[in-house]
């Protein structure tokens, strides 16, 4: 039930996303939650998003842009 409420109710979230360099710019690849251990990217940051019906739309500027911190298997 809780999962369905999260999908149906519109909300603002702060999501950690990973970034890939293309030229002199960093582009969003995906959410940090969606990467597998061992994958490497050029950076990561927090991004405020509006989420509704399992779609996320970025809003505003990226915050806390930093070097990528790889996931490790537990």
pLDDT along the chain (74 residues), means of 10: 83 94 93 93 95 88 92 78
Nearest one of 52, 54, 58, 53 to 16, comparing CA atoms: 58
- Domain membership flag for residue 53: yes
Say what the pLDDT of residue 44 is: 97
Residue range(s) defining the domain that contains residue 30 = 2-66
Judge contact between 68 and 42, C-beta under 8 A: yes
Say what the pLDDT of residue 7 is: 83
- Domain membership flag for residue 71: no
Pairing of strands 43-52, 55-58: antiparallel
Total structural domains within the chain: 1
């Amino acid at each position: 039930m809780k999962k369905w409420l999260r999908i149906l109710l519109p909300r603002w979230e702060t999501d950690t996303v990973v970034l890939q360099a293309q030229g002199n710019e960093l582009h969003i690849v995906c959410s940090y939650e969606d990467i597998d251990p061992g994958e490497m990217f050029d950076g990561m940051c927090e991004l405020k998003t509006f989420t509704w019906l399992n779609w996320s739309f970025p809003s505003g500027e990226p915050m806390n842009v930093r070097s990528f911190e790889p996931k490790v298997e537990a």
